[in-house]
Each structure stands twice: as structure tokens, then as C-alpha cells.
Amino acid sequence: MTTAKHVSRSPASARRVPLLLGLAAASVAAWSGSVFGAVYHVDVAVIGAGSAGLTAAIAAKEAGAGVIIFEKMPMVGGNTLRASGHLAAVGSKLQEKQGLHADPEVFYNEILEMGGKSADPELVRRMVAESGAAVDWLHGMGVDLGRVRAVPGTKEYRLFQPAADTTVGSEIINGLLCRVEMLGIPVQMDSRVVELTMKNGVVTGFKAVGPGGEMDVDAKAVVIATGGFASGVDLLERFMPEDANQVSTNTPGATGDGLILAEAVGSGFVDLDAIHYHPTAVPLTGRIVPEAIRFEGAILVDRRGRRFVNELGTSQDITEAIRKAGGYAWLVADRTVAAAAVQMRSLIMHEGVITGRDEMDLAQRINVPPANLRATLTDYRVGAARGQDAFGRATFLSDLSKSPLYALRVRPALHTTTGGITINRDAEVLNAKGKAIPGLYAAGEVTGGVHGRQRLEDTALTDAVVYGRVAGQNAAAFANALHATAAIQAASADEHKH
């Protein structure tokens, strides 16, 4: 076994399982075990390489721990790579420098109101309190979150997104990956964790299976950051069968592996029957058509060419309105929206967006009554000029008057499972009786209680980064404490020998 603060593995693992981004074998201290299976010895082992997992690994490494990441998919990033909206935060130095206001109490109360009784006030309070520091931490490693926007219809400037022409999810993952590589944290790809191991009630690592066969990981602490289960048909049928066959915005990897691992060691759970729908997704592929496009000025019309909802309302309200309108809607945008939203330009290129010279031409192409669409756009432009319309919309970054016009058919899709593993404010996994399971931590969508049954817009990344940092720091502290105890015991034993 290697000394503290290092990771070791077997020669078989070195040959069979490639490391991400060309991380050389030199980033791993030494090898142990036999040629028949890899054996790793590490301070902190992280399961999952999305934003929560990468953040936890970096935080643990920065706290002095030896760290390794296991990811079952052939690529990193998880659902974060599909995130195209914002990261919500208060108290960042970026806000302060720009003289922008964001009230932490308003943020806190809005999360609780959206989540209902299932939202844990202590978890929410910590997420809000540390959200600004999380943004500054990301910014410090080169992540571009310099564009700060107001919550629609308010003067609460807490929505962060890249100033450059990229999406918030890809920007965050790229920044985290660069830091992972800089720190020399090894990442085992295509490697599924199948069982947590325990000794005397303490989690001591896990067993995994990868391209090279079985692997045993001996860890002082484990962080579960495997995401939710909105692509996991088995768990959806178990907890919410009526939603099991709906299209999902998630990657194929979001199948709830972490929940199964935690259940086997007696974890508690909360709100496993809670699901959050994204109101606007491409019907067949499930690709997200983000709120950011609506923020820039796009509207929703029904099959008759009429508006029916405030496009900047909550996802829950818009989802219900689309269902009542027949199950789908047309997202209508113009050249101004397309110029401002990189996501809209991508959709135009890859998702068969319909283009019209003007509203009459577009109406014919999407088979809605031309007179209705013209009247809809006329009313919208009047509301934009006034700064308020009949649906309560108060943010108008485009009046949809710049040709060409665009339309894309959208429908609600499974987006987030808001329930999951029960944790406390230190990201420790709790058992069914509310007691911490020693050595086990969790962060991100795999957990429950941070949001309650419904998630406030733009807080998923906030949760992942804040509690990823908390989990990584506390897992490292737990590992370091075990090292200190072992050192004291070794010194005492040596003293008795003499």
C-alpha cells in the first residue's frame, strides 16, 4: 500500500483502463495487487464525473487528499454538458464588481417556496450562503461566468452565464476538467461501481467493473455523485410509473446507480417520486430548448397560433399550460433572438427549425391560421413596447420584428429527479434513522432535500458545485483524520515495543 495522500493501482489496471485527457500513469503513485484484478488504495474515491463529482474530486485534492474518479460512461460531464441556462448565485465578487444586487433572503425564500415542505431549510441555507463563493472558485480556475443577468421580471441579478459564445454547462465542465488534469487526478472511464464495501459500519471503498475486469477500491472516504435517474426506466417504473415512458432530456447515464449503491448500505431517501419537467424539449430527441431562448424574446404559441402562457414563468406552470394546450407548442423566435442565443443558432443548424420570411409565411409552414399568428405577434409587440403584456411578462429583449422568423415544435420532457439520498449540510449520507454513515458523502442530483419536490430555475448547477465542494472537503477531512489516528496508534505501538 502507498503512503498517505496517494493513489495506487495494479499493473493490470494500468494496461487495460485508459485515463481521461491523456493523464499519464505518472499521476498515480505506485501499483499494488495482482495481475488478475486492479486494487486501488486512495484517500477519497469519487463516483461520477459530472459537475458535482469533478468538483468534489478537486476540492478533496486541494484539501490534501489522494483522489481518484470512477465514471461508468465513455465521456465525462454527465447532464451538466447539456446545461444551457444559468447558474444562480448571490454574494459573488463578480456581482460586487459590477454593482449588481441580489438578495440572499429573496433567493432562499424562493427556493423554499418552490420546493415546499420537502426542501430542507438547512441544506437550502448553506447552498445560498456558499453560492457566491462557488462562482468565485470557478472563476478562479478560469471558468467564464462574467455575464450576470436579472431573474425575469425582477431586479435580482443572480443568473450567471458565460460572456463568450458558449453554454454554461460546457464552460463549467471544461474548466473543471482542466483543473483535474492540472492536479493529476486519475479518472477511470467505462468503469461502473457495483457495490460499496463496509467494515464495522464504516464505508471503506467499493467494487467496480471496467474494460479490464473487476477492480477493488480501498478508500478512506467515498463520494457518490452519479446524478439522478430521469433516464433510468427501472427506477422510474418503481417510483413514478406514470412517467416511465416519457422522453427525457438526460444523458443515457442518468439511471440512478448511486441510489442503488446507497440503498444497499442503509441510506435514507427523500422524495423519490418527485420529478421536474423541462417544458420545452425537441419531441423525439429530448434535446433541451433552453429557457435562455425564451429569455431573449422567443414566445410559445399553440396549434392555433395563439399565445397561452408567460414564457418566463416557472417550468411547472409552463409544462401544465402546454399539456392543456394539446401537449405541444411552437417556439417562435426572430433574427434578434438567434443572434443573441447560441443555443438557438445550434437548433437552427441541427434540429430542423422552420424558417419563414414573415409571420404569414411562417404560419403557412407550421400549419397554423395566419391571421392568428399575425395577431399574436402584433399583441406581443405592443406589450414589448409597454414593458408588460397580458400574460404578465415583463422582460422583452426582442419584439420579434426582425426577419426571418423561426419556429420549432417543443413539448415537456423529463428533466430532473429532485428526490434522492438524504444528506446533512456537511454532505454526509444519512441512514434511515437520520444518522451519518461514516465515510460516505453525496452531492448533486443524486441527493434529495436540497430543492424539495420542485426545483427553482437555474439552481441545479448551484447545488452541484456548492455541495460538490462541501462533500470533497469533508471527505478529505475524514480521510485525514483516519490517517492521524493511524499515525498515533502506530507511534503508540512502537513506543510499547521499546
Q: Is the pLDDT of residue 209 over 60?
A: yes
Across 371-483, the runs of DSSP E, i.e. the strands, are 405-417, 420-422, 428-430, 436-442, 447-448
Half-sphere exposure of 59 (CA within 13 A, CB side): 26
Phi, psi of 417 (to 5 degrees): -90, 110
How far apart, in whole angstroms, are the C-alpha atoms of residue 168 and residue 250? 16
| CB distance 221 to 479 below 8 Å | yes
- Binning pLDDT at 50, 70 and 90, where does residue 492 land? low
Kindly compute the dihedral angle of the four CA atoms of residues 479, 485, 491, 496, in this order, to the nearest 10 degrees: -140
Closest CA to 17 of 252, 284, 229, 211: 211
Confidence of residue 35 (pLDDT cuts 50, 70, 90): very low
Running DSSP on this structure, what letter comes out for residue 431?
B
All cell numbers assigned to 55? 468538483
8-9 vs 187-188, strand pairing mode: unpaired
SS3 149: strand
In this predicted structure, what is the pLDDT of residue 350?
Answer: 83
* Residue 91 to residue 341: CA distance in whole angstroms: 26
| Cβ count near 364 (within 10 Å) | 13
Q: Is the pTM of this model over 0.85?
A: yes
Backbone φ and ψ of 162, nearest 5°:
-65, 140
CB atoms within 10 A of CB 28: 23
> 327-338, pLDDT tens digit by residue?
999 999 999 999
Does the pLDDT at position 319 exceed 90?
yes
Which of 129-133, 350-354, 366-370, 378-382 shows the lowest mean pLDDT across its residues? Answer: 350-354
Q: How far apart are CA 136 and CA 393, in angstroms?
A: 31
pLDDT in tens, 373-386: 999 999 999 999 99
Q: Is residue 88 over pLDDT 60?
A: yes
Residues 6+ apart with CB under 8 A from 70: 45, 46, 47, 48, 49, 187, 188, 191, 192, 193, 206, 208, 217
CA–CA distance, 305 with 357 (Å, rounded to integer):
16
Task: Give me the residues paired with residue 41 across strands.
Answer: 8, 218
How confident is the model over 410-460, as pLDDT tens digits?
A: 999 999 999 999 999 999 999 999 999 999 999 999 999 999 999 999 999
Residues in the chain: 498
Residue 413 β-bridge partners: 278
